[in-house]
Structures are given as structure tokens and as C-alpha cells.
Amino acid sequence: MSSNSEIRPPLPPFTRETAIEKVRLAEDGWNTRDAAKVSLAYSLDTRWRNRAEFANGREEARGFLERKWKKELDYRLVKELWAFGGNRIAVRYAYEWHDDSGNWFRSYGNENWEFGDDGLMINRYASINDMPIKESERKFHWPLGRRPDDHLGLSELGL
């Protein structure tokens, strides 16, 4: 167990179905852009590498997310399971956002996740690249919040 008594199902060891569920729950959480809520999916002593930034602990992760969503406006994210085993999941994802000058980007990334027995994420390693796009090239047009169930995923979109 992680260093607290919270439980965040589904719990490891993951099956294909529970890994897909965990990925969708993470996507749904991040699409809220609510740093306080999202940070609760991480252990108190979580460790992150996000590009060249490191976060140690849930509070640093929350602060990172607050800064992120102040910069990355109209953020919409799609995640897809890449691989899983035991208490680990690998995902690939893309998200679209614009800066305060109206410049649009699609950010592509991969993450490796490790979970405690309680289902809280203890390690998150992310590699991300930003590609400038024109607003007309956007593929994620749903209203802010949860991606609709009938919206195409990354593979179906050719991403």
C-alpha cells in the first residue's frame, strides 16, 4: 500500500479490461482540468517526471497541474492503453490546447505508470512533444469536460 489509506479502483494486478478502465478514468479526470480532484489519484509520495519537470509528492503534482491548465487553455485529451502488466500501465495520448495568444498545439505523449496495491499512482514518467497546428486542424471538438463515448480514439483518428 502507499503511504495513506485511500483506495482507488481498479486495483492491480490489472487485466486488459481493468487497465482500459484505469486509462479512461485518468483521461476523464484530466479532462476536468481540476487539479485538486485529479491529484487525488496519486499517492501522497508520488514521483513524476513530466518533460523536464519533476514533482515529488501529491502537493507538488497538484501545483504542476494548476500551472499546466493556466497555460494550456481549452485542453482536451485522449488516452489509449499501450501495454500493461502487474501493477504497471503504459499509455499513449494526444491533447489539444491553445496558449493565451490563440496559438493551437497538439501534444503527443507516452506515459509509464506504476501503482500501489491501493490503486493510487506512485510513479508517472511522461515524454511529450508539442506540435503547432492551425485551429482548422483540430480533431477534438467536444464541449470541455469528459470525451463523449462515441468520439473516435487515437487509433481511429490516425494519431
pTM above 0.85, yes or no: yes
Which residues, 6 or more positions from 6, have their beta carbon under 8 angstroms from its beta carbon? 40, 118, 120
Determine the structural domain holding residue 102 and report its residue range. 16-157
The pLDDT, as a whole number, for residue 80 is: 98
Tens digit of pLDDT for each residue in 83-140? 999 999 999 999 999 999 999 999 999 999 999 999 999 999 999 999 999 999 999 9
Here the contacts of 134-137 (C-beta below 8 Å, separation 24 or greater) are: 134/104, 135/98, 135/102, 135/104, 137/104, 137/106
What is the domain-level CATH number for residue 42? 3.10.450.50
Number of domains in the chain: 1
- 55 touches 47 (CB < 8 A): yes
